[in-house]
Amino acid sequence: MSQKTRPVYLDYQATTPVDPRVMDVMTPFFTEAFGNPHSTSHSYGWEARDAVEEARQQVAKMINADPREVVFTSGATESNNMAIKGVARFFEGRKSHMIAPVTEHKCVLESLKYAQKLGYEITWLSVASNGLIDPDDIRNAIRDDTALVSVMHVNNEIGVVQPVNQIGAICREKGVYFHTDAAQAAGKTAIDVQDMNVDLMSLSAHKMYGPMGIGALYVRRKPRVRLEPLMDGGGQERTMRSGTLPAPLVVGFGMAAKLVTEERDTETTRVRDLRDRLLKGLQQRVPDLYVNGDMEHRIAGNLNIGFKGIDSETLMDALKERVAISSGSACTSAAVEPSYVLRALGLSDEDAHASVRLCVGRMTAPEEIEVVIDAISDAVRTLRADGARASVA
């Protein structure tokens, strides 16, 4: 890898670096303790199995679940697919309706489209201009044949925290499964599957300083959630997810969960302070900017800011040597369509195109915030001056 200085990283919602403390506990499971956690005839297998079970407890503790309710998967994409398609297939022919907001992650939207092909009708809920959904809209949309409500805990583009506790209470009262994609919530806001009355919850390690390629689906045992597995095979993970567990990644995920459980409060305070300094600095130096999404019900690290008259692709290109940011979700950033999340808040195509996501995280240093304020205010000023010259010419 090159030794030249890297740009300041402010894209913590796309992925996070692996915490060195996570890396330390993972390494021996690649080299010495490399056993297959499902091998039952020797100590290599037992050692890996014990480590996997400890990690399962660490992940369970982070969300106040029973370890038997934690099913390891390859990440939140798989967990979301498993939850939605699994429930759709289990209740096929008996239930025929699901509910979700339009601002869900692509993998939730696409899994719901799969359910649609199986014959389910989907109620797509709109959100308010602050990005939040109204729990009463959920209550009004639930029918006798509703199988599932899926609402993400924290939005990956605008960082808003949905009222999941209220939604969970409604779903429990009505006897409807409640799934939440909590990939962006873990480590950023309190997660308690009991308080939330959640039945299914998706998690991803690489959004919380663990490795890529590992995640979990929380599957409630009481009352028991029924779903059809996606993977057929050796029957691992209580038959819900066949395939050899990647023990090193599982161990890393466990450590990442432990760190989050212990350090979330102090980290949140520090990250919020940096985020607020960033916003204040930009507001002081850059005219005509707007923040997308509610500021109060929002995770500490996130900003989604529009700069009037600027094209976000051009801005990111101008910044690329100094700051790494994105216009929204990593999966869709190759496409130049405006963000469907920002469009759902009521932004025009032009204002959606003028917006970028900035996310502060665990490794962000205070000096970096100053670099970013300088870089963005310089770039926006230059681009606006160029734009003004071009429109005169």
Residues binding ligand PLP (CB under 6 A): 75-77, 105, 107, 152, 156, 181, 183-184, 204, 206-207, 215
CB 207 within 8 A of CB 16: yes
Determine the Cα–Cα distance for residues 319 and 312; give it in Å rounded to an integer. Answer: 10
- CB-wise, 115 or 154, nearer to ligand PLP? 154
Q: How far is the CB of 156 from ligand PLP (least distance, A)?
A: 4
Determine the Cα–Cα distance for residues 45 and 43; give it in Å rounded to an integer. Answer: 5
Q: How far is the CB of 80 from ligand PLP (least distance, A)?
A: 6
Which is nearest to 216 in space by CA: 102, 21, 65?
65
Q: How far is the CB of 222 from ligand PLP (least distance, A)?
A: 26
**Which structure tokens are listed for 53?**
């079970």
Residue 313 neighbours by CB distance under 10 Å: 13
Q: How far is the CB of 75 from ligand PLP (least distance, A)?
A: 2
- CB-wise, 180 or 355, nearer to ligand PLP? 180
Contacts with 79 (C-beta within 8 Å, 6 or more apart), sequence order: 73, 181, 202, 203, 204, 215, 216, 217
Active site residue 331: yes
Q: How far is the CB of 150 from ligand PLP (least distance, A)?
A: 11
The distance of Cα 353 from the centroid of its chain, to the nearest Å, equals: 22
Residue 283 neighbours by CB distance under 10 Å: 13
Residue holding tokens 């071009």?
A: 390
Contacts with 110 (C-beta within 8 Å, 6 or more apart), sequence order: none
Q: How far is the CB of 207 from ligand PLP (least distance, A)?
A: 6
Determine the Cα–Cα distance for residues 380 and 288; give it in Å rounded to an integer. Answer: 10
Determine the Cα–Cα distance for residues 293 and 291; give it in Å rounded to an integer. Answer: 7
- CB-wise, 14 or 51, nearer to ligand PLP? 14
Residue 299 neighbours by CB distance under 10 Å: 23
Catalytic residue among 107, 171, 331, 359: 331
Q: How far is the CB of 309 from ligand PLP (least distance, A)?
A: 29
Q: How far is the CB of 79 from ligand PLP (least distance, A)?
A: 8
Determine the Cα–Cα distance for residues 121 and 116; give it in Å rounded to an integer. Answer: 6
- CB-wise, 58 or 77, nearer to ligand PLP? 77
- CB-wise, 99 or 369, nearer to ligand PLP? 99
For ligand PLP, which residue has the nearest CB?
A: 75
Burial of 226 per CB tally in 10 Å (0-12, 13-18, 19+): exposed
Determine the Cα–Cα distance for residues 314 and 355; give it in Å rounded to an integer. Answer: 11
- CB-wise, 11 or 181, nearer to ligand PLP? 181
- According to DSSP, the β-strands at 97-101 and 121-125 are parallel
- CB-wise, 10 or 373, nearer to ligand PLP? 10
- CB-wise, 77 or 364, nearer to ligand PLP? 77
CB 85 within 8 A of CB 224: no
Residue holding tokens 């970096």?
A: 368
Where do runs of H (alpha helix) occur along 156-244?
A: 164-174, 193-196
The distance of Cα 351 from the centroid of its chain, to the nearest Å, equals: 24
Question: Which are the catalytic amino acids?
Answer: 331
